[in-house]
Chain A
Amino acid sequence: IQLTQSPSFLSASVGDRVTITCRASQGISSYLAWYQQKPGKAPKLLIYAASTLQSGVPSRFSGSGSGTEFTLTISSLQPEDFATYYCQQLNSYTYSFGQGTKLEIK
């Protein structure tokens, strides 16, 4: 199953609302997760099951979607949110990641 994220690069300002999209090549129900990765660090789980916020993750992060189209929304960007974001499907026993979206400061 191929995952395609858009955009690949995103420039935004503190306080902006941003949305990242992840499209799957076939239906994956709600078996989708979102991760945040900062340089030199391991990825951090933000959302699983498409829309469930991982414990400890700020409520400005939200996820939605099912089937083949999913979105990650950050309601009001904070300085610590500038990072690379990945989606991952866990529908089958072979998991795959999207190519990533790099979120940069405008």
Chain B
Amino acid sequence: QVQLQESGPGLVKPSETLSLTCAVSGYSISSGYYWGWIRQPPGKGLEWIGSIYHSGSTYYNPSLKSRVTISVDTSKNQFSLKLSSVTAADTAVYYCARRRLAFDIWGQGTMVTVSS
């Protein structure tokens, strides 16, 4: 059974970098598929942040591209998100997910608050 689990600080200061990791179990990232990050501000809708292929090819939301880096570590079977220069507008639940023809498996999500 494939499972994804997000981890990282729940509180980040403004102007700093948000860093999250998604650990994958039950499936080897090296075997293929795209992996992605999606976020949801409190009470609002879903926003796709970006995706990465197991080879390391990345695709980012144009509105966030200048601040986002997604990387993959196949040796640890995990992928990561870094979002720089955060503001209160980046406060959200952050989800990682696997993409086949759509995002079919999701992590439970982790709440990240940007506040001093």
Contact = CB atoms under 8 A, between A and B. Distances in A.
Interface of A: 33, 35, 37, 42-45, 48-49, 52, 54, 86, 88, 90, 93-100
Nearest to A97: B46
A85 to B, nearest CB: 11
Given A42-B95, A88-B102, A90-B102, A96 B48 contact: yes
A69 B46 CA distance: 20
A36 to B, nearest CB: 12
B103 interface: yes
A45 B102 contact: yes
A54 B104 contact: yes
B13 to A, nearest CB: 26
Most buried by B among A35, A86, A90, A98: A90
Contacts of B109: 42
Contacts, number: 58
A30 to B, nearest CB: 10
Interface in B36-57: 36, 38, 45-48, 51
Interface of B: 36, 38, 45-48, 51, 59-62, 95, 97, 99-104, 106-109
B45 A100 contact: yes
Nearest to A96: B48
A45 to B, nearest CB: 5
A4 B38 CA distance: 18
A28 to B, nearest CB: 13
B106 A90 contact: no
A49 B99 CA distance: 13
A49 B101 contact: yes
B45 A88 contact: no
B106 A43 contact: yes
Contact of A88 (B59, B100, B103, B108): B103
